[in-house]
Amino acid sequence: MSIISWNYHGVAAPATVSELHSILYFEHVFHIEPRGLSGGLCLLWNEIYNINIYFWSDNHIKARIDDRKGKIWECNFIYGNPCFGRRKEQWRAITVNNNNKGEPQLFIGDFNDILSQEEKIGLHPKPQSQVREFRKFVDMNYLMDLDIKGGRFTWFGNPRNGFITRERIDRALVNWEWRVLYQQASLKALPAISSDHCPLVLDINQVQKIDKSFKFEAFWTDHEECEDIVRKGWEKEDVQGCAWKGITTRMENCKEELRKWSRRTIKRADKEIHKLKEELKKLQDSDLTQEKQEKTQQIKENIATLWKQEEKYWGQRARLKWLKWGDKNTSFFHATTIQRRGRNRIEKLRNEAGSWIEDRKEIMKHIEERFDALFTSSNNTNCESVIRNIPVRVTESMNRELISEVTEEEIRKAVFSMGSLKAPGPDGLNGLFYQKHWEIIKKEVCAVVNFFGMGSCRKRLAKP
């Protein structure tokens, strides 16, 4: 399902609506005629979706949408009044009459407002009172801003004193319930050609298959057997050969053991919580014998444990350092993760020929080729003549100290100074894995560090 929102002058005129209806073959149309040369709204859709319009005004159409797949939500098509005083009244009226804040909601259109001064480039900043009023509207309706791709601004003013004002006044705002319903939704801004506004395209049912990679989960460490599983994988075989081959083999064995243990032992928290709540409800509705009371208490403890597991799961993906676990922040972590994924998702890239690449494998290939070309030299540069003219500042004793083996204590300090939940590398083993299981893995880690001569990479200053 896609929704297109576009502020186009004259589109809501009766003649234009009729022409659009006949040319674009939309099965349904609803429009509010403009007042003079301004205002007016037009909504066109096809029968594939069940849309029930139950409120409208000069600047607002409210509809309940049924996608016929079991998802029902409310969509608000907005045109912010150009006059700030009336727009302020409009935001307050919408907030007061919004009785469905707990249901999935989408607000899309031209709001004629911005959320921060960074969303405008012009000769004069937006009055701060207008920014505060719009932010108040967003906060009081529990809305979040969907990240937009394709351009930073959506409206371009006429040149004035040789300068063009640009603003992001067209947007899509959603509440948490809607964002969970459509986690893969993507908002794009197309180029502004025949209008001074960019058309917005909201792709709701976008599906992007991503191969699930291994990730060491923070909540695994809450299980007593986790350390034994790591030890089992790490000591599974005595690897012969170089230190690098040894540690990579041990890491793969460890990951395989953790995968099998997780599939066998760890259950998905949200589904388990739902089942336990149903079981708890049945027990509480029955005659509570001593045995049932004990079972009720056990279920409550299991739910609390699963809540903690779910919070750590989403907290790890949110990558927030300033907010800690234990304060029931699961919903916030979840929302942050969804927003971050949408912001970081690369949907297409333009190659050297100017063509857009959208296939995921082609995108990865293009990135790899680009960096290969960037870091590959085509000339055999001889730097000896330059090096000969650089005075020697490092003495022999300094050099011996710099290239000496790194001690276990130095490596331990480096390991424990890492962010435990920072983004892991391709192997999926984050800092938490190394910190929690240092005693098991330290021998191989120290061996591989010195195998690559990491002593020469110490961050020490050699005094002249």
Say yes or no to pLDDT of 109 above 90.
yes
Structure tokens at 146: 């969907």
Q: Which of 131-145, 258-272, 443-457 shows the lowest mean pLDDT across its residues?
A: 443-457
Task: Give 255-281 as a 3 state SS string.
Answer: HHHHHHHHHHHCCCHHHHHHHHHHHHH
Please tell me the predicted confidence (pLDDT) of residue 19. Answer: 61
Helices within 319-437 (DSSP H only): 330-344, 360-374, 384-388, 396-402, 408-416, 431-436
- What is the DSSP-derived secondary structure letter of residue 454? G
> How do 120-121 and 166-167 pair as beta strands?
antiparallel
Please tell me the predicted confidence (pLDDT) of residue 400. Answer: 82
According to DSSP, the residues that pair with 57 across neighbouring strands are 60
Say yes or no to pLDDT of 463 above 50.
no
Please tell me the predicted confidence (pLDDT) of residue 138. Answer: 95
Q: Which of 43-47, 111-115, 117-121, 168-172 shows the lowest mean pLDDT across its residues?
A: 43-47
Q: What are phi and psi of 187, to 5 degrees?
A: -110, 125
Residue 407, CA distances (Å) to 354, 415, 433 in order: 52, 13, 21
Report the C-alpha gap between 306 and 270 in whole angstroms.
8
Q: Write out the residue limits of the CATH 3.60.10.10 domain(s) in the chain.
A: 2-203
Say yes or no to pLDDT of 417 above 50.
yes
The whole-number average pLDDT for the span 167-176 is: 94
* Angle (deg, nearest 10), helices 243-265 and 225-234: 140
Please tell me the predicted confidence (pLDDT) of residue 460. Answer: 41
The whole-number average pLDDT for the span 146-165 is: 86
Percent pLDDT > 70 in the chain is: 84
Transcribe 194-229 into DSSP letters. Answer: SSSBPPEEEESS-----PPPP---GGGGGSTHHHHH
Transcribe 148-161 into DSSP letters. Answer: EES-S-SEEPPPBT
Report the C-alpha gap between 239 and 324 in whole angstroms.
39
How far is CA 446 from its chain centroid?
36
- Per-residue model confidence as pLDDT tens digits over 351-375: 888 888 888 788 888 888 888 888 8
Q: Write the single-letter amino acid at 127.
A: P
Residues 350 and 362 sit within 8 Å (Cβ to Cβ): no
* Angle (deg, nearest 10), helices 84-97 and 128-140: 10
Please tell me the predicted confidence (pLDDT) of residue 39. Answer: 73
Please tell me the predicted confidence (pLDDT) of residue 374. Answer: 83
Report the C-alpha gap between 231 and 442 in whole angstroms.
12
The whole-number average pLDDT for the span 387-400 is: 84
Q: Is 313 or 12 the better-scoring residue by pLDDT?
A: 313
Report the C-alpha gap between 387 and 394 in whole angstroms.
14
Percent pLDDT > 90 in the chain is: 25
Q: Is 119 or 336 the better-scoring residue by pLDDT?
A: 119
Please tell me the predicted confidence (pLDDT) of residue 322. Answer: 45
The whole-number average pLDDT for the span 64-91 is: 92
Say yes or no to pLDDT of 336 above 70.
no
The whole-number average pLDDT for the span 324-330 is: 53
The residue whose two tokens read 């509809």 is 63
Of the candidates 212, 199, 211, 130, the residue with the CA atom closest to the CA atom of residue 171: 199
CATH number listed for the domain at residues 2-203: 3.60.10.10
Please tell me the predicted confidence (pLDDT) of residue 456. Answer: 46
Please tell me the predicted confidence (pLDDT) of residue 371. Answer: 87
Radius of gyration of the chain (CA): 30
The whole-number average pLDDT for the span 225-235 is: 90
Please tell me the predicted confidence (pLDDT) of residue 68. Answer: 79
The whole-number average pLDDT for the span 119-123 is: 90
- Per-residue model confidence as pLDDT tens digits over 88-99: 999 999 999 999
| Confidence band for 33, pLDDT divided at 50, 70 and 90 | confident
Please tell me the predicted confidence (pLDDT) of residue 143. Answer: 94
- Per-residue model confidence as pLDDT tens digits over 190-211: 888 888 899 999 998 755 555 6
Report the C-alpha gap between 307 and 270 in whole angstroms.
8
